[in-house]
Structure 1
């Protein structure tokens, strides 16, 4: 049983640590953030009148980019508020109670 709090604590069997950069939520947040920045930039600086006509006057790149950036922020918040705790002794092959 791990003790949560700041993300680092001890368990009955040994020491526990946060997954950190190896948490898949950080990788997904980074990808959404990169694609969101690209689409937001394209929406702000690369949208022509012909593009807006095709999409019925909606700047799809801009709104999709903003949406992706919001999802990236949500993934980072999820990671900060509910970190994955890894029992380092059990991961190293130690015995558990």
Structure 2
């Protein structure tokens, strides 16, 4: 039995791999990971700041440091997620998929 692939089979396989690569690039975009973690931790720290007693606030010289830090983390996380939404990862182009050889003069 011969393992002979037609040009159409090869092209279909290349297209599938390009789609998987673009999907993986979107899923593992660092902006998504960083933004998600900052939002998650920001929510936790903000809730801690909202429930802090007066003793914790006095310990930080009258500043509810957990509340302000949590709000800052939330804002930073939202910034990363909005940035991801406004400037998504571009799918790879055919020009970027070819040889990495410099052009000959």
Q: Calculate the TM-score normalised by the size of structure 2.
A: 0.64
Kindly indicate which of the two structures has a greater share of residues assigned to strand.
Answer: 1
Considering only aligned residues, what root-mean-square deviation do their CA atoms show, in Å?
Answer: 2.8
Q: What is the correspondence of 1:44-55 to structure 2 with a 5 Å cutoff? A: 44-45=50-51, 47-55=52-60
Superposition deviation, residue 29 in structure 1:
0.5
Partner of 1:31: 37
Among 62, 68, 75, which residue is 1:70 paired with?
75
Q: Calculate the TM-score normalised by the size of structure 1.
A: 0.69
Highest RCO, 1 vs 2 (Cα 8 Å, sep ≥ 6): 1
5+ unaligned residues in a row in structure 2: which ranges? 1-14, 100-105
Kindly indicate which of the two structures has a greater share of residues assigned to helix.
Answer: 2
Task: Report the Cα distance in structure 1 between the residues aligned to 2:47 and 2:37, rounded to whole angstroms.
Answer: 15
5+ unaligned residues in a row in structure 1: which ranges? 1-13
How many positions carry a matched residue from both structures?
81
Task: Report the Cα distance in structure 2 between the residues aligned to 1:78 and 1:53, rounded to whole angstroms.
Answer: 37
Greater radius of gyration (CA): 2
